[in-house]
Amino acid sequence: MISKTTIENVFETARVEEVIGDFVQLKRSGSNLKGLSPFVDEKSPSFMVSPVKQIWKDFSSGKGGNVVTFLMEHEHFSYPEAIKYLAKKYNIEIEETVPNNEELAVANEKESMYLVSEFANKYFHNTLLHTEEGKAIGLTYFKERGFNNDMIAKFSLGYSPNSWDVFTKEALGKGYKLEFLEKTGLTIVKEDKQFDRFKGRVMFPIQSMSGRVLGFGGRILTNDKKAAKYVNSPESEIYHKSKVLYGIYHAKQAIAKHDNCYLVEGYTDVIQFHQAGIENVVASSGTALTPDQIRLISRLTKNITVLFDGDAAGLRASIRGIDLILEAGVNVKVCAFPDGEDPDSFAKKTPYEKLVAFLEENAKDFIQFKASLLMNEAKNDPIKKADLIRDMVVSISKIPDRIKQEVYLQECSRIMDISEDVLFNTLAQIDKKDLADTGKKLKEQQQSKTFEVLKNEAENATAKIDIQDELERKIIEILLLYGSVEEEFEDVLLKANDEGELIEVKEKNLYKVFHRIYLSLQEDEIELANPVFKSIYNDIITYYNQTEHFEIEDYLKQIKPEIANEVTSILMHEEREVLHNWESQQIIVKLKDKTIGQYVTETILTLRWYWVNKIIDELKTEVVTQNKEDNAETLAMVMDYLGLTNMFSKKLGRVMSRYS
């Protein structure tokens, strides 16, 4: 268990904008910060962070909450894991207990796989540094690659002993289950035998953007021709090769800071660049670049510089995958190293200043780079040149920005010595073909969308705002913003005079806003109908009753994840003083010339009025459907309730039409 004091220390220290800034590129927007949603694929920012309120809201997915709920949503952490992550980030001491067999048994499958992977990471790293075999083989290899102790520690490099099952036995002895050793791919199970997947290899842990160990890459050091040079963890619940990038955890802050990401191929390229002083670098780990990997980078920057080896054949093969980056609307530059050099070898022997200068001077726009490369290959072969021109235009067709397309076509016309008209016609042909290939599907989608639009328009023509929902939302907003404020309220009692008429008897008393709302709803026996609002209402009332001094920041620290989305939605809309057309819908909006007491009274009165009208409608329905001969009693009740609505109307100071 984590102590309450530690949790409070974490909340007091952690800044929501700093933590989220590690995952999302944020830009100032008034008093808030905005960025692209990390939960859905979007082109326009709908993700908002409030440094003042220490909350966030993603208007695309509807998610929201505090710094802990962000980590729970984005990284799928449990509450304790999120606290531990923040404690580590802000160097806060926290008591951690080693999970015992009982705790491991109740942990869910995914969490158990994370625990096993973390244990393996520590085991391999410890083996590298503190065993004779590890130091003689693994550490020697890393030293020969030129990695210093700081880099070995930073990337938690390790070594797996050259023994069939020494790691598996160690893990089982510590209480980790064979089931999860197998599911993470650390152990290969064959009938009644099991052995270590990575035996005799140096280890590169692969981490998520938040630093969790997802899997491993292992490099063999012997010349065994039957064994693969590199072995990666297999796909699992926690490791999806197409969705991770090596080094993203260590690079994310530098990528956001420099607004650029260097993309390399291998683990050692990343480590060597870090050692040289350049940290905004990640690797695709030898696999073809995927849309998910590009999306991961684009959360931090819209600029990617791809670094290639000097090998011309390899360069030609590698650039084929970059069309995906262009298609994602990301700006791409290319930098090729001299013949015989790769990012690892070049960074190893080049001082920081010269390395930075080389990258800046040699990074070329991808389209220009590809056009020059293709033309060098085509030379005087007209047929080959024609094919390469089409290849070039295909790449340009992937760019979603039409202005950029035209600029690049003009540049290609100059480089390739061909008229712009031919290139534009070729682009049009490609676009036409693409449209033809997807035409049927697009037509079906458009028909479906058109139907939905027409349907929605028809519904909206007669539909009204859900009055009860909006009134209940206003109750929650009042509790969040003004619940602890003490105000003078007028108690209105309804009494019958000698003639049997209902008259008002008024009294003024001081109440805290939350108490006034609670008493009013209790008096009318009203329960909020919306289950989310009802849950929030009960949670807030309980919190007010248990807390002497209510502070919104403290309440948000303990808020339940299941109600966090709605609470942050309400708080993020606090600034909206006048809501579109609400007055015509009988929804009271807090105006500048009204006191909190007036605001609360009018909202409660309107909710009461709404409920009375519901009762009237039910009584009318009863008269119509039951076909009673004598409806005098029911009609009398309707008249009494209508008298109440007239009184509500008078109290609100305006003529109010009936809800329908």
DSSP string, 463-492: ----HHHHHHHHHHHHHHHHTT-EEEEEEE
Mean pLDDT across 294-319: 78
pLDDT confidence of 311, banded at 50, 70, 90?
Answer: low
Task: Tell me how far apart the alpha carbons of residues 310 and 339 are, in angstroms, rounded to a whole number.
Answer: 4
**Domain co-membership, 500 together with 630:** yes
Long-range contacts of 426-430 (CB under 8 A, 24+ apart): 426/389, 426/390, 426/393, 427/393, 427/396, 427/397, 430/393, 430/394, 430/397
Instruction: Return the top range by mean pLDDT from 141-145, 334-338, 395-399, 629-633.
Output: 141-145
- Are 530 and 563 in contact by the 8 Å Cβ rule? The answer is no
The residues, ordered by sequence, that sit 6+ positions from 494 with a Cβ below 8 Å of its Cβ are 502, 503, 504, 505, 644, 647
When the pLDDT of each residue in the chain is averaged and rounded to a whole number, the result is 82
Domain count, the chain: 3
Please tell me whether residues 67 and 157 are part of one structural domain. no
Provide the domain limits for residue 80: 4-89
| 532: pLDDT strictly greater than 90 | no
- The predicted model gives 425-441 an average pLDDT of 68
pLDDT of residue 456: 52
| 257-294 pLDDT, tens digit each | 888 999 998 999 999 999 999 999 999 876 778 888 99
Tell me the mean pLDDT in the region 64-84.
Answer: 84
For residue 416, pLDDT beyond 50: yes
In a domain, 524, yes or no: yes
Which residue from 101, 244, 115, 106 is spatially nearest to 181, judged by alpha carbons?
115
Q: Are residues 489 and 600 in the same domain?
A: yes
Per-residue pLDDT for 71 more than 60? Answer: yes
Within 10 angstroms of residue 483's Cβ, the number of other Cβ atoms is 23
* Same domain, yes or no: 133 and 186: yes
Residue 156 has pLDDT above 60, yes or no: yes
- Specify the pLDDT at position 440: 56
Q: How far is CA 525 from the centre of its chain?
A: 40
In sign, the C-alpha dihedral spanning 360, 361, 364, 365 is positive
- 489 and 603, same domain (yes or no): yes
Which of 54, 89, 124 terminates a domain? The answer is 89
Instruction: Provide the pLDDT confidence category of residue 587 given band limits of 50, 70 and 90.
Output: very low
Residues 63 and 106 in one domain: no
Q: Cα(224)–Cα(16) distance, rounded to whole angstroms?
A: 50
**Is a pLDDT exceeding 80 seen at residue 646?**
no
Tell me, what amino acid is at 169?
K
- Residue 576: band (very low, low, confident or very high) from pLDDT cuts 50, 70, 90: very low
Stretch among 133-137, 405-409, 626-630, 632-636 having the lowest mean pLDDT: 626-630
Say what the pLDDT of residue 658 is.
Answer: 41
Query: Which CATH number is 25's domain given?
Result: 3.90.580.10
Within a domain: 223: yes
Angle between helices 79-89 and 67-74 (to 10 degrees): 110
pLDDT, average across residues 590-597 = 60
Residue 372 has pLDDT above 80, yes or no: no
Summarised one tens digit per residue, pLDDT across range 179-238 is 999 999 999 999 888 999 999 999 999 999 888 999 999 999 988 778 888 999 999 999
Residue with the bigger pLDDT between 449 and 413: it is: 413
pLDDT value at residue 396? 87
Strands (E), 60-209: 64-65, 158-160, 187-190, 193-196, 201-207
- Residue 445 belongs to a domain: no
- The residue whose two tokens read 């207990």 is 97
Same domain, 622 and 480: yes
The Cα 292–Cα 289 span in angstroms is 9
467 contacts: CB under 8 Å, gap ≥ 6: 585, 586, 587, 610, 659
Percent of the chain, pLDDT > 70? 81
> Is residue 563 one of the residues assigned to a domain?
yes
113 in a structural domain: yes
pLDDT of residue 462: 38
The answer to the question of residue 361 being in a domain is: no
pLDDT confidence of residue 575: 36
Residue where a domain stops, chosen among 188, 219, 239:
239
Find the angle CA(256)-CA(259)-CA(262) to the nearest 5 degrees.
Answer: 95
The H-or-E segment that residue 27 falls in is: strand 27-29
- Which residue type is seen at 34? K
Average pLDDT over residues 125-133: 97
pLDDT score of 517 more than 60: yes
Question: How far apart, in Å, are the Cα atoms of 641 and each of 202, 375, 621, 644, 645?
Answer: 81, 86, 15, 5, 6
Average pLDDT of the residues in 612-621: 78
Question: Where residue 627 falls among pLDDT bands split at 50, 70, 90?
Answer: low
Q: Does residue 38 belong to any structural domain of this protein?
A: yes
17 and 118 within one domain: no
**Residue 425 burial (CB count, 10 A):** 12
Cα–Cα distance between 518 and 438 in angstroms, integer? Answer: 58
Same domain, 80 and 198: no
Same domain, 493 and 616: yes
- For the ranges 156-170, 282-296, 354-368, 593-607, which has the lowest average pLDDT? 593-607
Asked if the model's pLDDT at residue 244 lies above 80, the reply is yes
- What mean pLDDT is predicted for residues 591-607? 74
pLDDT category, 545, cuts 50, 70, 90? confident
| Predicted pLDDT of residue 493 | 65
Pairwise pLDDT comparison (112 vs 273), residue with the higher score: 273
Q: How far apart are CA 147 and CA 151, in angstroms?
A: 6
pLDDT value of residue 630:
65
- The pairing of beta strand 331-336 with beta strand 201-207: unpaired
pLDDT digits (tens, 9 = 90+) for 476-510: 988 888 888 888 887 766 666 677 676 767 778 88
What is the residue whose two structure tokens read 């683990």?
267
Query: The domain that contains 221 carries what CATH number?
Result: 3.90.980.10
543 and 479 belong to one structural domain? yes
Are 614 and 495 part of one and the same domain? yes
Q: Are strands 303-308 and 331-336 parallel, antiparallel or unpaired?
A: parallel
Residue 451 has pLDDT above 70, yes or no: no
- Confidence check: pLDDT of 323 > 60: yes
Average pLDDT in the 623-634 region? 68
Alpha helices in 193-241 (DSSP H): none
Across the range 415-431, mean pLDDT stands at: 83
DSSP result, 533-578 = HHHHHHHHHHHHHH-SS--HHHHHHS--HHHHHHHHHHHHTTT--S
Residues 6+ apart with CB under 8 A from 413: 419, 420, 423
Does residue 164 belong to any structural domain of this protein? yes
Q: Among the three residues 197, 218, 239, which one is the final residue of a domain in this structure?
A: 239
* Highest mean pLDDT out of 254-268, 420-434, 537-551, 595-609: 254-268
